[in-house]
Amino acid sequence: MDIVKCTKVTKTYRQDTVVVRALSGASLSIQEGGFVAIAGPSGSGKTTLLNIIGGLDYADSGRVVVDGNVLTDMSQSALAHLRLHKVGFVFQAYNLIPVLSALENVEFVMLLQGVPPAERRERAKAILDDVGLGGMYDRRPAELSGGQQQRVAVARSIVSNPSIVLADEPTANLDSKTGASLLEIMQEMNEKKGVTFIFSTHDKMVMDYARRLIYLRDGRIVEDKIRNG
Amino acid sequence: MSIDLKMAWRNIWRHPRRAILTMAAIAFATVLLVFMLSWQFGSYDTMINAAVKVHTGHLQVQAAGYHEQQNMHLVVPDPVSVSRLLDDIPDVAAHTARATAFSLVSSHERTYGVAVRGIDPTKEAQVTTVGQVIRQGKYLSDDDAAQALVGGLLAKNLRVGVGDELVLLGQGRDGSIAATVVQVAGIFSYGQDELDRNVIYIPLPYFQEVYSMQGAVHEVVVLGTSLEAVPRIKRSVSAELKTIDKKNKLVVLDWMELMPGLIQSIQMDLISGFIMYLILIIVVAFSILNTFLMVIFERTREFGVFMALGTTPGRLTRLLLLESTTLTLLGTAMGIVAGSLVTWYFQVHGIVISGTSEMLQQYGLPERMYPQLSTLSIAVGAGLVLAITLAAALYPALKVRRLRPVEAMRAV
Ligand SMILES: Nc1ncnc2c1ncn2[C@@H]1O[C@H](COP(=O)(O)OP(=O)(O)OP(=O)(O)O)[C@@H](O)[C@H]1O
Ligand SMILES: [Mg+2]
């Protein structure tokens, strides 16, 4: 089953007189349970594509369907609802709410979802244990290393049981060793929980983890290959 | 504690110095308002009580129209029955009768037009302060006859002193010429030029004889036990008067009607006070506004994360309002405590005032005034600060609603 289906998605940015075509007719389908990398040089439209799939931004034209929801005709508040229940995000950096501890950061999404406190706590602890942050429940983001922060972000993105997790260059701010271990954790979560991961990167090492590699250039998909893991 | 409240609390203390300064501004405004309002409310009571004791009393029974026209033919014909009636009314502390005639007064050298007032020496001293402002000579006694108290400025103008003689020349109630010679028994000075320059007091029985009053007076002056009792006394006196005043010629006037200028000064003082307070609070409100606009600016990226997680703009607004409300409430609470302490200190020790506005001084303000701490002054003071600062915090909180997730995420 296709969990994400994009058809001829375009997006144009205008800044004063300069017009930039960030996406020019990108079409792709991603199956449930996938572990997909979107690669491409800087400015090729990776972030734009992920934002549109995650309901953070609107496409100018084309059609985007996520888990049966047609994003292209949803309101802002409907998109917020969709993000809360269907999409997990991991960004490059500053993912966490600085005034909340690791545990509270993970709990916060479930709080928004209305999960009762006791269950919230239990699930948050379990997922932090899963990503290897067992003893760090009460640390604030400022007291965690970059790699640990990204792991909290991964834990937070999957704790709400989303249909897809979108990670925009999650390892860009990490050294290669820490980056690799984050990818391993993502891989493990993908296999263990069956959550679909779509992540962007221009790092060759990161691409090697993907089971499918979609290559973007100038807002177009120029290559799409299944890799044998 | 809920996560929302925790976040609000921790966000406040992300910038401790800014939080403390903002709270201090709110607290300062609250202190000032609580104190100033207590001061105003307290001073009005003192002022009114001082003013009524100079001359007017809390209430007067007069003939209808006398207050406006000062016509000596408009009299209270039977003051004895009025005073008997007043004796039976609770809350009446004291009362006295007076009569006034405008006459010429002459010394050997000069002549002036003055108000000659007939007073009951003993009873007058219970109602007004005239007995306490004699600077030379002595106050009148009940068996004095052709004796007079003269205002200090008038005595100077006439060039007379205690023991000198004055000629009074006026018109009696029956139209006859009223003329007599009186001896200066004492010289008074209120410190109010109006009285010190234009008034002569003589004993009431002698006045009634000279001016052919036939037992009548012009005003029966009443002092109540307290300011709050005045409306009650007024109602009782009005009701009781009907039994002796069949033709409805007498009226009861309270201090507000007798001294319209005083109540106007109070209103002016209140209004100018409120304008000042408003300016003060608006300044504080701008500092709140600034703090929270900075918060929005600094945390834009963070709001982007919130929105990516699926937080609705409404919830973000609520989070920000929780934060500003907590900050404001803390500041106001500190202000209430400090303001009450400061006010209470001065309530005990009083404040020496010099150079109060002349408008108020002419009503005989005392030297030392005391603020009056009350739930009203606390509630109004703190309430105003709270309302305006919260309103100021509303704008930044609503501003986040316009934020779009991608734009917010791009900010760092
Ligand atoms: N808000 C914007 N306003 C104007 N142009 C934009 C905006 N966002 C993106 N662009 C432009 O759109 C194109 C695609 O941008 P996008 O961020 O999707 O690229 P990317 O592949 O994520 O690049 P990077 O690897 O550098 O993150 C770029 O040319 C970029 O300059
Ligand atoms: Mg990008």
B60-116 pLDDT, tens digit each = 999 999 999 999 999 999 999 999 999 999 899 999 999 999 999 999 989 999 999
Mean of pLDDT over chain B: 90
* Residues from chain A contacting residue B412 (CB–CB below 8 Å): 94
Indicate the range of A35-44, A83-92, B356-365 predicted with least confidence. Answer: B356-365
B358 versus A28: the higher-pLDDT residue is A28
Distance from CA of A228 to the nearest CA of B (A): 33
Please name which of B349, B279, B265, B263 lies closest in space to residue B33, comparing C-alpha atoms.
B279
Report the atom number in ligand 1 closest to the C-alpha of A41. Answer: 25
Averaged pLDDT, B190-206: 92
Give the per-residue pLDDT at B367.
67
Averaged pLDDT, A182-186: 93
Judged against a pLDDT cut of 90, whether residue A184 lies above it is answered with yes
Indicate the range of B19-23, B147-151, B278-282 predicted with least confidence. Answer: B278-282
Instruction: Give the nearest chain A residue to B8 (CA atoms).
Output: A99
Residues B3, A107: C-beta atoms closer than 8 Å: yes
CA–centroid distance, A43 to ligand 2, in Å, is: 7
Give the per-residue pLDDT at B337.
96
> DSSP 3-state assignment of B249?
coil
Q: Percentage of residues in chain B with pLDDT exceeding 90?
A: 65
Give the per-residue pLDDT at B287.
83
pLDDT tens by residue, B5-35: 999 999 999 999 999 999 999 999 999 999 9
Give the per-residue pLDDT at A78.
94
The residue behind tokens 């002569």 is: B200
Cβ neighbours of residue B132 closer than 8 Å, sequence gap 6 or more: none
Please, are residues B237 and B221 in contact by the beta-carbon 8 Å criterion?
no
Please, are residues B43 and B113 in contact by the beta-carbon 8 Å criterion?
no
Q: Which residues line the pocket of ligand 1, CB cutoff 6 A?
A: A 13, 15, 20, 22, 40, 42-48, 202
Rounded CA gap, B126 and B123, in Å? 5
Give the per-residue pLDDT at B358.
56
Domain ranges of chain A: 34-51+81-226
pTM confidence score: 0.78
Averaged pLDDT, B188-196: 88
Judged against a pLDDT cut of 60, whether residue A13 lies above it is answered with yes
Helix, strand and coil percent figures for chain B, each rounded to 5: 60, 20, 25
Give the per-residue pLDDT at B14.
92
* Residues from chain B contacting residue A82 (CB–CB below 8 Å): 310
Cα-based distances in Å from B219 to B17, B59, B93, B114: 66, 10, 17, 18
ipTM confidence score: 0.94
Q: Could you tell me which CATH class the domain A34-51+81-226 is placed in?
A: alpha beta
- At A141, is the pLDDT very low, low, confident or very high (cuts 50, 70, 90)? very high
Distance from CA of B328 to the nearest CA of A (A): 20
Averaged pLDDT, A20-32: 93
Q: Tokens in use for B188?
A: 């008074």
Nearest residue CA, atom 30 of ligand 1?
A: A43
pLDDT tens by residue, A99-121: 999 999 999 999 999 999 999 99
Give the per-residue pLDDT at B127.
94
Rounded CA gap, A213 and A207, in Å? 7
> DSSP 3-state assignment of A76?
helix
> DSSP 3-state assignment of B88?
coil
Domain ranges of chain B: 3-51+262-409, 65-248
Rounded CA gap, B25 and B34, in Å? 14
Ligand nearest to the CA of A23: 1
Q: At B288, phi and psi to the nearest 5?
A: -65, -45
Q: Give the mutation target among A13, A58, A215 for probing the ligand 1 site: most ligand atoms within 8 A of CB.
A: A13
- At B360, is the pLDDT very low, low, confident or very high (cuts 50, 70, 90)? low
Residue pairs between chains A and B whose CB atoms are closer than 8 Å:
66
CA–centroid distance, A46 to ligand 1, in Å, is: 8
A16 versus B169: the higher-pLDDT residue is B169
Instruction: Give the nearest chain B residue to A103 (CA atoms).
Output: B3
> DSSP 3-state assignment of B374?
coil
Judged against a pLDDT cut of 80, whether residue B310 lies above it is answered with yes
Give the per-residue pLDDT at B190.
87
